[in-house]
A and B are shown apart, each in its own frame.
Chain A
Amino acid sequence: MSSDARVPAPPARRTPSLKERLVPALISVVSVTVFFGTIAWLVTSAEQWPRIRFQFFNPDAIMAAFPNVLRGFGINMMVWAIALVAIGVWALILAVFRSLNGPILAPLKVFSIVYIDLLRGIPSLLLVLLFGFGVPALQIPGLPRSSLFWGSVAMVLGYSAYAAEVYRSGMEAVHDGQRAAAKALGLSQWQTLYYAIIPQAVRNVLPALLNLAVALQKDVALLSVIGVRDAVREAQIYTARTFNYSSLIAAAILFLIATIPMARITDYVARKDQERRLQRTV
């Protein structure tokens, strides 16, 4: 259109010169190097440093312990992955129970409330000991007697109480109008949950659930106390034999390799979720 010609063009954005971009970056690099370099120098020049290095950061010991620790870490991650799926399902069932209305369904609601109160109030370590040592000791025929199995069950039962509360908050955050619309269309209570409420609730709480997943990723190490030969247990076995703690550092490194990317993914999902919410309000 001709009228557009009269509108003054916006001022062209000046592209910063190479020098203008380079100098701040250079300053950052130098200051970071100086800061951490000084700390490193202070630590390594300390009188006790050679002993610390030998006990904790001994490359030979790390290499020697690594194969067993890595195998143990495989068990950690396997337990984590299976427990994650089990928690995702069981916690959702608990949250649905808790949201139910109507006198006939009251027992399920009460069960869920009591369950969540109890299991959230007991330390995970205690649950792991109770199930991991206690249940196999009963020697009930037909039940598995592996402490790995029962320890994992304890983790699932305990974490589900937390995850159920997360799901519940997500379900409550779904707008009332959605329930009204579902009811007006003739959807039953179950259909309303299944087709309308739960999908929206899960989307709402995905970042919070992922945070729990990161916490669980570390907490699976609790199974080491009931004799499961996970990364921590294997590291302890090495330490007991050699009086060198570098194997624990090896285990720590493996956990970091797993948890840091997981935390980054959680941040990413949370940011996307935030953007989605902002977009909707515009």
Chain B
Amino acid sequence: MSMNRVEISSLTKYYGTNLVLDEVSLAVKEHEVVCLIGASGSGKSTLLRCVNKLVPFDHGDISIDGVSIFSEQFNNNELHKRVGIVFQAYNLFPHINVLNNITLAPRKVHGVGREESEERAMKLLELFGMQGYERSYPEQLSGGQQQRVAIVRALATQPDVLMLDEVTAALDPELIGGVLKVIKDLKTQGMTMLIVTHEMGFARDVADRVCFLEGGRILEEAPPDKLFSAPENPRTHQFLQRIIEAGRL
């Protein structure tokens, strides 16, 4: 039996009295890419943020490679090294250059030497077509370039799992392609990914499995071909219908 890379079991979370995640269970295998889709407010982003403890949750458990994220082994640094996240608004640090954005965590959190971390950062930048920008500041880059840097920053600690939270939602249409290509390349390299997206075409291309969330629950979970062409749950069908009408699929 191969162990699940990420296992979310019976995750429940309230914001105040508002139930945002209702007994969600989800397992992601190594090298697997799982896309979470659903309307805004369905709990997709909160689910990601629970996995790397950005937000606390009320019940349930999350484990990485069979070990709970609350166990001794996962003091915060270890968890954040193993699980990377990329945000919709990039959230790069505006006052330091691209190279320092990428090497900050390896150097200051994980104790990697400057030379080694910079060498690794340069390799990653080259891999994602960002060579030559290492001395630039975030505001000198386009949104697509900033998002690629943010992905490199998340990869700099060599995580086992990468979580992407609507990473193309803030981008101009002509810049989305470049970022999506980067993510497809990562899939080819075998990266385990948990992706929240509104790009249904992209989800169909890249996902091994797609989960449709509504009201804090996973209503349907299926391979993309099945979920997009023959959804079983009427709610899923309705959601996809609206997306098609909006011309997004």
Contact flags (1/0) for A76-106 with B, using CB distance below 8 Å?
0000000000000000000000000000000
B93 contacts the other chain (CB 8 A)? yes
Q: Which of A184, A187, A203 has the most CB of B within 10 A?
A: A184
Please determine whether A195 and B87 come into contact, CB atoms closer than 8 angstroms: no
Q: Which of A248-282 contact B (CB under 8 A)?
A: 279-280
A177 touches B89 (CB 8 A): yes
How far in angstroms is the closest Cβ of chain B from A190? Answer: 11
Does B85 sit at the interface, judged by CB under 8 A?
yes
With contacts A186-B81, A280-B139 taken as known, whether A178 is within 8 angstroms of B108 at the C-beta atoms is: no
Given contacts A180-B54, A185-B80, A186-B77, contact A191 B87 (CB under 8 A): no
A170-218 contacts to B, CB under 8 A, are 175, 177-178, 180-181, 183-187, 191, 195-196, 199-200, 203
Q: Which residues 95-152 of B sit at the A interface, judged by CB distance below 8 A?
A: 95-96, 104-105, 108-110, 139
Shortest CB–CB separation between residue B82 and chain A, in angstroms? 10
Task: Indicate whether B12 reaches chain A with its CB closer than 8 angstroms.
Answer: no
User: Do B108 and A187 touch (CB < 8 A)?
Assistant: yes
Among residues of A, the one whose C-beta sits closest to the C-beta of B150 is: A181
Q: How far is the CA of A183 from the CA of B76 in the complex (A)?
A: 9
A185-B105 in contact given A177-B87, A177-B89, A280-B139 (Cβ < 8 Å): yes
In the complex the two chains form, is B54's CB within 8 Å of A191's CB? no
By size class, the interface of chain A is 10 to 19
Interface string of B147-190 (1 = CB under 8 A from A): 00000011001000000000000000000000000000000000
Q: Which of B52, B85, B105 contacts A187 (CB 8 A)?
A: B105
- Inter-chain CA distance A185–B157, complex, in Å, is 9
- How close is A273's CB to chain B, nearest CB, in angstroms? 13
The interface centre, meaning the residue of A175, A195, A199 with most chain B CB atoms within 10 A of its CB, is: A195
Asked whether A191 and B93 contact (CB < 8 A) given A180-B87, A186-B81, the answer is: no
Determine if B91 is an interface residue (Cβ-Cβ < 8 Å): yes
Which residue in A175, A199, A279 is a CB contact (below 8 Å) of B95?
A: A199
Q: Which of B87, B92, B109, B139 contacts A186 (CB 8 A)?
A: B109
Query: A178 CA to B81 CA in the complex, in Å?
Result: 18
State A80–B18 Cα separation when bound (angstroms): 54
B108 in contact with A191 (CB, 8 Å): yes
Of all chain B residues, the one with the shortest Cβ separation from A199 is B95
Q: Across the interface, do B76 and A186 meet the contact criterion of CB distance under 8 Å?
A: yes
Q: What is the bound-complex CA distance between A183 and B89, given in angstroms?
A: 15
| Interface: B223 (CB within 8 A) | no
Q: When the two chains form the complex, which single residue of B77, B93, B139, B157 contacts A181, counting CB atoms closer than 8 Å?
A: B93
The A interface, classified by DSSP as helix, strand, loop or mixed, is helix
B94 with A200: CB separation less than 8 A: yes
Q: Which of B52, B79, B87, B93 lies in contact with A196, CB distance below 8 A?
A: B93
Note all chain A residues with C-beta closer than 8 A to B105. 185-187
CB contacts (< 8 Å) of A279 on chain B: these are 139
A199 to B94, CA, bound (A): 10
**Complex CA distance for A191 and B77, rounded to whole angstroms:** 12
Give chain B residues whose Cβ lies under 8 Å from the Cβ of A195: 93, 96, 104, 108
Q: Assess the A185–B109 pair: CB atoms within 8 A.
A: yes
A191-B139 CB under 8 A given contacts A177-B87, A180-B87, A184-B54? no
Q: Which residue of A lies closest to B77 (CB)?
A: A186
Q: Smallest CB–CB gap between B202 and chain A, Å?
A: 23
Which residues of B sit under 8 angstroms from A175, Cβ to Cβ?
A: 91
Residues in A whose Cβ lies below 8 Å from that of B104: 185, 187, 195
Residue of B nearest to A182 (CB): B93
Which one of B85, B95, B108, B109 lies within 8 Å of A200 (CB-CB)? Answer: B95
Given contact pairs A177-B89, A187-B105, A200-B94, a sample of 17 additional A-B residue pairs in the complex whose CB atoms are under 8 Å apart:
A177-B87, A178-B93, A180-B91, A181-B87, A184-B80, A184-B85, A185-B80, A185-B109, A185-B157, A186-B80, A186-B109, A187-B108, A191-B108, A191-B109, A195-B108, A200-B93, A203-B95
Q: Can you spell out 17 A-B residue pairs with CB atoms less than 8 angstroms apart?
A: A177-B87, A177-B91, A178-B93, A180-B91, A181-B92, A183-B80, A184-B84, A185-B105, A185-B153, A185-B157, A186-B80, A186-B105, A187-B104, A191-B109, A195-B108, A200-B94, A280-B94
